[in-house]
């Protein structure tokens, strides 16, 4: 089952851009120029890189998303505070409560969108590879690559994993595949990974990294 395609974010895998929709779009765009200068390219990570770069990896439900105006050295922009109810900690020690600060959002008739950024929809069950919360404009490893959707498959009774574009994840090696909207990569296995299988793969990656890290001799 894919996420409702009408709710999928617009994906631009390599270049991040910001957009305002508003009756006052010209005035807002002036304040937005410094933010455009901070736009970055996204390089798709392989699975081990995704795991190692994360400050913490959690499974959680989006409980709320509240937007507010912020003004800083980059100008005036919208920040959305996304509250995550953590149901499983896979890596690290996330704060409690876990509130992500995400650039973009909607206030009144003004909407600010970071193209390619994943959506945080209230009620969604997500796996998040979180990095730089409060410091990065999208606090996920490699932006859209750092969010996975957990969806219940009634035919098997299993919770299965999808990428942020809605396509099913059949093998962790597919994490590095281009993030085009609603494109499924089905050749790597007969069915999508379950949440349990995906969590095990993350922990195995952590163990491989720990075993390969040299220790200082006394």
- For residue 38, pLDDT over 80 is answered with no
Give the integer Cα–Cα distance in Å for 193 and 94: 25
pLDDT, tens only, 94-108:
999 999 999 999 999
Write down the residue that tokens 């490699």 correspond to. 142
What pLDDT does 20 receive?
A: 45
- Give the N- to C-terminal CA distance of the chain in Å, as an integer: 54
Q: Please, where are the H alpha helices in the chain?
A: 25-37, 47-53, 195-212
Q: How far apart, in Å, are the Cα atoms of 141 and each of 29, 43, 138, 165? A: 27, 10, 8, 15
* Tokens 């595949």 sit on residue: 177
The pTM of the full predicted model, rounded to 2 decimals, is 0.79
Alpha carbon distances (Å) from 58 to 2, 166, 169: 21, 19, 17
Residue 182 pLDDT:
57
In the block, which residue shows the tokens 């050295």? 73
Given a cut of 90, is residue 175 above it in pLDDT?
yes
3-state secondary structure of 194: strand
**pLDDT (tens digit per residue) in 46-80:** 999 999 999 999 999 999 999 999 998 878 999 99
Those residues whose C-beta lies under 8 Å from the C-beta of residue 153, and which sit 6 or more positions away, are 1, 159, 160, 192
Three-state DSSP class for residue 115: coil
Split at pLDDT 50, 70, 90, the class of 181 is low
Q: Where are the domains of the chain?
A: 7-211
Please identify which residue in the block is written with the tokens 């996204």: 42
- pLDDT grade for 191, boundaries at 50, 70 and 90: confident
């Amino acid at each position: 089952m894919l996420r409702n395609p009408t709710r999928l974010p617009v994906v631009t895998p390599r270049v991040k851009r910001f957009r305002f929709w508003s009756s006052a779009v010209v005035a807002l765009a002036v304040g937005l120029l410094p933010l455009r200068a901070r736009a970055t390219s996204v390089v798709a990570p392989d699975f081990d890189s995704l795991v190692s770069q994360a400050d913490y990896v959690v499974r959680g439900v989006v409980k709320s998303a509240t937007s507010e105006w912020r003004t800083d050295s980059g100008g005036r922009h919208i920040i959305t505070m996304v509250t995550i109810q953590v149901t499983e900690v896979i890596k690290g020690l996330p704060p409690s409560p876990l509130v992500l600060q995400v650039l973009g959002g909607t206030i009144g008739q003004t909407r600010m969108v970071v193209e390619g950024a994943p959506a945080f929809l209230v009620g969604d069950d997500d796996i998040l590879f979180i990095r730089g919360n409060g410091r990065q404009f999208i606090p996920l490893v490699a932006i859209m690559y750092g969010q996975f959707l957990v969806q219940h498959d009634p035919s098997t009774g299993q919770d299965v994993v999808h990428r942020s574009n809605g396509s099913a994840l059949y093998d962790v090696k597919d994490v590095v595949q281009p993030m085009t909207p609603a494109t499924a990569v089905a050749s790597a296995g007969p069915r999508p990974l379950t949440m349990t299988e995906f969590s095990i793969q993350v922990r195995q990656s952590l163990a491989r990294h720990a075993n390969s890290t040299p220790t200082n001799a006394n």
